Each structure stands twice: as structure tokens, then as C-alpha cells.
Amino acid sequence: MVPIDQLLGDEAPTALREFVDYWASRRGGGLMPSYSDIDPIDIPWALPHLYIVEVRGDDFVFRLAGEAVAERYNRPMKGVRISDLFTSSSSSEILGRWRRVVSKPSAYYSYTQHETVRGIAVRARRILLPLGADRKSADHLIGFTVYEETQGNTEAFSDGMTTRDVRWADLTL
């Protein structure tokens, strides 16, 4: 666990750094900004790669997802639960991370690889950050994903995910 300003390594894309800087600038004196603090007008460059999920008890439901995210999952994302996207083995790992972001509160950076239905590797670097109306406890999560691809491939993911790197930031530091 590191402070949020040390979460991303040197290899992280510039867009991820700019997104974390934007999120941090919106949190004021709290641990996190609120959902209403995020203004799409401020970050038009980020919108295709952004997603917001609502925390519903122990589950998460997508409120919105940018074009790059929806395209990768080959479907509209509004109203979709994370467990609807993957089988239980993959969604279990993702849900565990998302629940940790809510409960600590914390943030994470990951570098993962998913396989498409034809076996094409799609690597992604992502950040997941909490949002909370009281600026102390998360009621939404906001994520930003940069996909690394050599082809313009938009086919659906198959089951399974390989995690290459995961880093955590404690927001209370």
C-alpha cells in the first residue's frame, strides 16, 4: 500500500496519470470526490475509457461506460453487473478487488490480459477509484482503462484473465 500519488509506475500511460490527477483535484479535503464532483466537461479526452459503477450492497452495477469500454465487452454496459460479464472465477477476482476499494477505502492500478473468443490477447491498464457523497465512504466506483492492442479487434472476451501487475493505494495515507 502506497499513497495515491505513488500508485502508478513509470510505465503507466500518460492518460492514466492525467485521470488520477483529475480525480485527486476533485476530492478536496476528503478521501474521495463525490459522484457529483466528476464533470464530463472537464475530461472529454477520458470519456471513451471511463466507467462508473454504483455500489449496491455487495454487488456493483454499471451506470455508464465509455465507447472503448463498451466496445471491448461488445455490449451496452448500463445496468450490467460485473458478474454478468464473466464466469464466477473471473468475476470473483474482480469483485474482490472492487469490494476492497469500497471497504478500505483504497484505489488500485492493474495490468491484465484477457483472451478474446478467438484467442487474441488484449492487455489493459486500469485504475479504479472510489466516489462517495460524504467523501469518506464509497457509493460509486470510477474506472479508467487503456487497452493495448496491435489490431482493431472488438470481439468478445472469453473467460479468464491473467493479472500481470496489481498495486494498491491507501487513501488514508
Residue 50 pLDDT level (bands cut at 50, 70, 90) = very high
CA separation for the pair 31, 147 (Å, rounded): 28
Here the cell at position 9 is: 509506475
Extract the C-alpha cell encoding 112. Answer: 491484465
At residue 150 the predicted structure's pLDDT band, cuts being 50, 70 and 90, is very low
Side-chain half-sphere exposure of 68, counting CA atoms within 13 A: 19
The answer for 41, left when phi > 0, alpha when psi is -120 to 50, beta otherwise, is alpha
pLDDT at 155: 55
Transcribe 119-134 into DSSP letters: --EEEEEEEEEEE-TT
**What is the C-alpha to C-alpha distance for residues 50 and 89, in angstroms, rounded to an integer?**
24
pLDDT score for 38: 97
The per-residue pLDDT for range 13-46, each reduced to its tens digit, is 999 999 999 999 999 899 999 999 999 999 999 9
pLDDT digits (tens, 9 = 90+) for 70-117: 887 788 999 999 888 776 777 888 899 999 999 999 999 998 876 666
Domain architecture of the chain: domains with CATH? 4-170 (3.30.450.20)
C-alpha cell at 68: 472503448
